[in-house]
Amino acid sequence: MDQATLEQHVTDLASPDPATRDDGAFAALADAISGGNLTTAQRRWLGDRMVERLSHPDAFARSFAPLIFAVLAGSWPAGDGGWPSEWSDAVLAWWPAETDLRGYDGELGWIHAVAHGADAIGTFGLAGLVPADRLLAVIAERLTAHTEFVWHDQEDDRVAGAVCAILLGDPNAGPEPLLDPVADLFAGGEPGPVPAQRPTPCTRSAACMSPSAITCCTRIPVRHRRSRTPRATREPSLPRCSRRHRGSSPPHRKSTQPADLAIGRERRAQRTHRHTACCRRDQYR
């Protein structure tokens, strides 16, 4: 890929148009990186631009920088020298401090800063570019950061995937850097409601916005109850007995033969008699 095309894609990666940013620029850059179509100088130039992009004023521009770092880390050639630690340092400093945690926006498309940052951190850990303890500590910092936003676009799945990738990259790593800060937060907490706001109303489709919508990405699905026979019309049932009577289990198969039906009626009468007698004895004990 020539330098002019690379620079254009980097510019488009900060476009507010989701088609230009996601389907166009990011897809082209990811293919070029993973396909080995960038020189060593171009890779390092791209990484330096992504470090600058992490301080962009728009969240949709900031959030796509870690995706580029994830692709770079996942396909970093040995001939390009050591991985620049300042790149991963920039991602680890930006991710837990990011305050715009929107997932999908009706106009801007996917922002997804939490998920994109988790992808980069998981790739760092799987490739062994950053110590596992440091990565897990950053995830704990992101999980315990004070916010009133609720993750509802599968951010938790992406964070869990990052934890798995980190532990796979270092089998000797333990979960203590991740779990200890969370345990300390619970230990020092006080009773009360969880300070979290509900997700904003869905704007993905007109069907979701209609008041008659039964399910929505931000609504709990409504389960329809099956129509049941009114209680007054059902046959009265015997009280449950705590004892198990021998031979009280129903047969596995039902037969329609007259003789079998007669035998079945007799057995049911015997079970009812034993059941009632047992419960009456327990009642007067």
pLDDT digits (tens, 9 = 90+) for 246-259: 444 444 455 556 56
Q: What is the pLDDT of residues 129-175, one digit of tens each?
A: 999 999 999 999 999 888 888 888 889 899 999 999 999 999 898 88
Using CA atoms, how far apart are residues 108 and 18, in angstroms rounded to an integer? 6
Q: Is residue 53 within 8 Å of 13, Cβ to Cβ?
A: yes
Instruction: Report pLDDT for 89.
Output: 94
Residue 172 C-alpha from the chain's centroid: 25
Give pTM, 2 decimals.
0.66
Q: What is the pLDDT of residues 31-85, one digit of tens each?
A: 999 988 999 899 999 999 999 999 999 999 999 999 999 999 998 876 567 889 9
Paired with 118 in beta bridges are: none
Q: Using alpha carbons, select from 82, 169, 162, 160 the residue that is nearest to residue 128.
A: 169
Could you say which DSSP state residue 79 is in? G
Residue 121 near residue 163, CB atoms below 8 Å:
no
